[in-house]
């Protein structure tokens, strides 16, 4: 291993918690040398619980043996290969989640046939026996079996066996959203099987993880609005489950409601007026339920909330007469599980008249390839980069080594100033100031080391077809927008194209500009 790779590894591992390291070693040794059958006789007749679906999943089962996940279609010739890896691990995971059981058009006969086909291959399943797919599939099976009043001993026994695997392989080595999903699923399994062991473990995980993972302003601590929607959806499902099926008389339901209200408050504040979330930190289109769906769902089960005041999530939002601006002035989070973080400190997103104008480039792949690296890199975000240095070292698909940290933050009603130290090895700090008026936005960038040369990146939405470059700025004639730049020394403006992520495996050609400057740059956006 060369020295640069070793340094990346050291600066990545030093943030891990002892629990993550311990369980990674424990599972490795146990599974290699002491693996045993974790199946367990059910020895009871299971009565379906009460369930009504509030948010249906998009159609991913297209009939026959045809599936569509992540905008990629696959038709199996003779039988479904549940281990199919033609399109990478995430596609295989989606096949094993069984979300399609709860798409609106799924019939009882089709669903049972798919479950039985899966059970027939139980002994050769690979990715499907990992704890994360088990967690999501368990919830989907419980929902489908319950709402359709399906009672079949073999299905219940297989599902129970999978829950035993999950119980003995909880994702303590990963923590974050994976462990929380484990807890949600155990909660469903506990109610379905009326199983005290599953319930106590679910309660333990949900209390400890939701206390940590839901920040004071209501954000999920991985700071991805998409994952926030996914995890909020699951939390609302757990509340619905407990309300429809009175079984336990303790404080769990009240606790879940409290956390859901916090998450709803943040989501309402973060959602733009057009209903979309900002595509930051591994957010992608077409994966999670929309904010509108989730807010309506929450109201239908009796939850009430008010908008959040953004704070420890690191996001700040400003609104003018015809614009909305979201700025990122937070740290990479959480420190020990930053798999969905990007190098985007002091980046921003801007909408005008409910239409995206300056955007995050988004996420189109989870594969560990060049595109994944590009989409997480500093130059893919609306911030400043110095030379070929990354403000935060993202690598290996889901790894982060050295990361920028906010060293100063000052804010009031219309202004925001933040400084990060991502370039401290180059002897400079980057400070960005936002000043928001009714019809204009001023952004000042300052690099503390005299004479430092850098480039500011601005990515426009793919719907913007014309960007006119002028001597000291640019014009967007169709949008009626003018952006002016000034600096102590002469600036250089370059226009080029990039690929905007419109969903997984779906990109659109769009325009970006790069502004080369020395030491300081003043940007004025007239709307």
pLDDT in tens, 35-76: 888 888 998 889 889 999 999 999 999 999 999 999 999 999
Give, as one character, the DSSP assignment of residue 29: H
pLDDT higher than 90, residue 4: no
Contact 228, 290 (CB under 8 A): no
pTM of the model: 0.97
Contact 198, 134 (CB under 8 A): no
pLDDT in tens, 484-522: 999 988 999 999 999 999 999 999 999 999 999 999 999
Which residues, 6 or more positions from 428, have their beta carbon under 8 angstroms from its beta carbon? 386, 447, 448, 449, 452
Beta-carbon count within 10 A of 8 CB: 19
Average pLDDT over residues 134-141: 98
Average pLDDT over residues 314-319: 97
Strand 415-420, strand 406-411: pairing = antiparallel
Phi, psi of 351, deg, nearest 5? -115, 145
pLDDT of residue 1: 67
Question: Reduced to 3 states, what is the DSSP secondary structure of residue 339?
Answer: coil
Angle, CA of 146, 149 and 153, to the nearest 5°: 90
CA neighbours closer than 13 Å in the CB half-sphere of residue 321: 6
Contact 315, 267 (CB under 8 A): no
Cα 46 from chain centroid? 35
Q: Which of 238, 220, 143 is nearest to 178 (CA)?
A: 220
Phi, psi of 178, deg, nearest 5? -65, -45
pLDDT in tens, 234-277: 999 999 999 999 999 899 999 999 999 999 999 999 999 999 99
Tell me yes or no: is domain 315-526 CATH 3.40.50.970.
Answer: no
Contact 401, 7 (CB under 8 A): yes
Helix, strand, coil percentages for the chain (3-state, nearest 5): 35, 25, 40
| Gap between the Cα atoms of 2 and 365, Å rounded | 27
Q: Which of 158, 171, 200 is nearest to 26 (CA)?
A: 171
Query: With bands split at pLDDT 50, 70 and 90, how would you rate the model's confidence at 181?
Result: very high
pLDDT higher than 70, residue 108: yes
pLDDT of residue 204: 98
pLDDT of residue 195: 97
pLDDT of residue 143: 98
pLDDT of residue 471: 87
Average pLDDT over residues 343-360: 98
Q: Which of 489, 458, 447, 448 is nearest to 472 (CA)?
A: 489
pLDDT higher than 90, residue 7: no
pLDDT higher than 90, residue 215: yes
């Amino acid at each position: 291993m060369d020295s640069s790779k070793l340094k990346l590894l050291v600066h990545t591992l030093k943030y891990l918690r002892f629990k993550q390291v311990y369980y990674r070693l424990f599972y490795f040794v146990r599974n290699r040398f002491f693996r045993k059958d974790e199946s367990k006789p059910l020895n009871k007749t299971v009565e379906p619980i009460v369930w009504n679906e509030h948010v249906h999943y998009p159609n991913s089962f297209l009939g026959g043996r045809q599936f569509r996940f992540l905008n990629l279609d696959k038709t199996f010739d003779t039988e479904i290969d549940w281990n199919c890896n033609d399109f990478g691990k995430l596609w295989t995971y989606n096949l094993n989640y069984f979300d399609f059981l709860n798409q609106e058009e799924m019939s009882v006969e089709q669903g049972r046939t798919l479950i039985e086909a899966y059970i027939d291959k139980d002994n050769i399943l690979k990715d499907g026996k990992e704890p994360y797919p088990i967690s999501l599939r368990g919830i989907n099976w419980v929902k489908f079996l319950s709402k359709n009043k399906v009672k079949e001993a073999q299905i219940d026994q297989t599902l129970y066996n999978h829950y035993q695997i999950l119980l003995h392989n909880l994702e303590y080595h990963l923590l974050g959203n994976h462990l929380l999903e484990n807890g949600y699923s155990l909660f469903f399994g506990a109610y379905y099987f009326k199983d005290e062991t599953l319930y106590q473990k679910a309660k333990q995980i949900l209390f400890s993880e939701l206390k940590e993972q839901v920040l004071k302003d209501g954000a999920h601590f991985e700071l991805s609005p998409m994952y926030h929607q996914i995890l909020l959806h699951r939390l609302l499902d757990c509340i619905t489950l407990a309300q429809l099926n009175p079984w336990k008389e303790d404080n769990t339901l009240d606790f879940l409601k409290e956390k859901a209200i916090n998450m709803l408050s943040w989501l309402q504040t973060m959602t733009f007026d057009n209903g979309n979330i900002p595509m930051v930190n591994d957010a992608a289109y077409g994966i999670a339920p929309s904010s509108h769906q989730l807010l309506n769902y929450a109201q239908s089960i009796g939850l009430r909330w008010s908008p959040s005041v953004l704070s420890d999530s690191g996001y700040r939002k400003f609104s003018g007469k015809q614009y909305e601006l979201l700025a990122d002035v937070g740290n990479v989070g959480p420190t020990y599980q930053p798999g969905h973080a990007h190098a985007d400190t002091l980046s921003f997103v801007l909408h005008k008249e409910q239409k995206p104008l300056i955007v995050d480039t988004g996420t189109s792949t989870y594969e560990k390839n060049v595109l994944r690296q590009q989409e997480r890199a500093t130059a893919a975000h609306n911030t400043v980069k110095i030379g070929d240095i990354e403000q935060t070292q993202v690598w290996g698909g889901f790894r982060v080594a050295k990361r920028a940290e906010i060293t100063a933050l000052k804010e009031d009603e219309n202004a925001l100033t933040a400084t990060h130290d991502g370039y401290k090895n180059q002897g400079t700090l980057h400070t960005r100031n936002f000043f928001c008026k009714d019809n204009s936005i001023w952004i000042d960038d300052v690099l503390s080391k005299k004479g430092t040369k850098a480039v500011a990146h601005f990515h426009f939405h793919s719907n913007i077809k014309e960007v006119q470059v002028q001597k000291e700025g640019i014009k967007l004639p169709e949008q009626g927008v003018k952006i002016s730049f000034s600096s102590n020394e002469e600036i250089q403006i370059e226009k080029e194209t990039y690929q905007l992520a419109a969903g997984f495996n779906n990109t659109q050609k769009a325009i970006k500009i790069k502004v080369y400057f020395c030491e300081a740059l003043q940007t004025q956006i007239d709307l």
